[in-house]
Amino acid sequence: MVRLVEESIEVRVGETSPEQFLWRGRLYWVTEVVDHWQERHAWWREGGRPLAQVPLARDVWRVEASRGRSSAPGVYDLGVDGDPEGTSGWLLLRTQD
């Protein structure tokens, strides 16, 4: 089952993809990048922001991650609208059970 989350997270990015992320005070280690794609941004949900300031696409990484060696891994969709090299601007978009 897929759960829509859309919460801000902090992400540590390696050479080409996310390596760790902090969500709700817990650190998750990425064990595998399952997929990477771009999806259109939901511009209609931006409220009063001028459309010229709304990015047209978002980079999304589907990753398998766990909180530690003894924790079972989960699948998470991490998205960023800006510079993927930075730690800010990232969202946890969805989780999968």
What letter would DSSP give residue 65?
E
Query: Does residue 83 or residue 62 have the better pLDDT?
Result: 62
Q: How confident is the model at residue 51 (pLDDT cuts 50, 70, 90)?
A: low
**What is the residue extent of each domain of the chain?**
2-96
Q: Which two tokens stand for residue 85?
A: 């090299």
Q: pLDDT digit string (tens) for 39-49?
A: 886 666 666 66
Tokens of 97: 């059970």
- Beta-bridge partners for 18: 13
pLDDT at 21 over 90: yes
Per the rule left: phi > 0, alpha: psi between -120 and 50, beta: everything else, 53 is alpha
pLDDT reported for residue 53: 61
